[in-house]
Amino acid sequence: MKSITVTVNGVAHGPSAVRDDLSMNDFLREYLGVTGVKFGCGVGQCLSCAIIVDNADGASETSPTCIVPAASFDGKAIRTVEGHAKGGELSALQRAFINHFAFQCGYCTAGFLNEAQVLLERLARTPIARADLERTIAEALDGHLCRCTGYVKYHEAVRDVVLADSALYLRKGSP
């Protein structure tokens, strides 16, 4: 057993006693009731279970939760799909996903949303050339599986959000 404290969407939880082999997915869903985190393949292959980890240096990254022990998140701050809307307002990405009818069953959506949010935060820190945008989006979303095959619509939704705020995400004067 280990005692862990994790900040989820800005709220500290714990200390909680967890088994060493308890997955982060089970911790979030069963201990904290954060059911927006999905469980798909369970073996690190689909990323429907991906969450955002906020690192101490200010950068963010995604992590699967099905194959990672909850104990390894002790002291960390994470975000889930429940944390994207603010004050009852959907985020720009959430609105774009809806506008593009990007999802059908929605099982993969939280993972795509978290990955796209991490991409936006990376581009805000380090803008890219417009010419690199399509490849950059494709590489960021690669690895997320959608059984309803909404890949193109997810891609288009993310592109829309970037282009709507191009001064923030794209290098000025770049082709």
Q: Give the integer Cα–Cα distance in Å for 23 and 13.
A: 16
Q: Residue 49 CB, nearest distance to ligand FES (Å)? A: 3
- Residues of 9-44 as b/e, b for ≥16 C-beta within 10 angstroms? beeebbebebeeebbbbbbbbebbebebbbbbeeee
Residue 83 within binding range of ligand FES, rule CB under 6 A = no
Residue 48 within binding range of ligand FES, rule CB under 6 A = yes
Q: Give the integer Cα–Cα distance in Å for 39 and 170.
A: 34
Name the segment binding ligand FES (CB under 6 A); options: 85-93, 97-105, 134-142, 161-169.
97-105
Residue 47 within binding range of ligand FES, rule CB under 6 A = yes
Q: Residue 116 CB, nearest distance to ligand FES (Å)? A: 14
Which of 146, 157, 161, 170 touches ligand FES (CB under 6 A)?
146
- Is 46 or 119 the residue whose CB approaches ligand FES more closely? 46
Which of 14, 35, 39, 132 touches ligand FES (CB under 6 A)?
39
The alpha carbon of residue 127 and the mean position of all alpha carbons in its chain are separated, in whole angstroms, by: 19
CB 27 within 8 A of CB 18: yes
Question: Which tokens in the block code for residue 134?
Answer: 């399509």
The alpha carbon of residue 64 and the mean position of all alpha carbons in its chain are separated, in whole angstroms, by: 10
Q: For residues 8-37, which are near ligand FES according to CB under 6 A?
A: none
By the criterion CB under 6 A, which residues form the site for ligand FES? Answer: 39-42, 44-49, 64, 66, 103-108, 146-148, 150
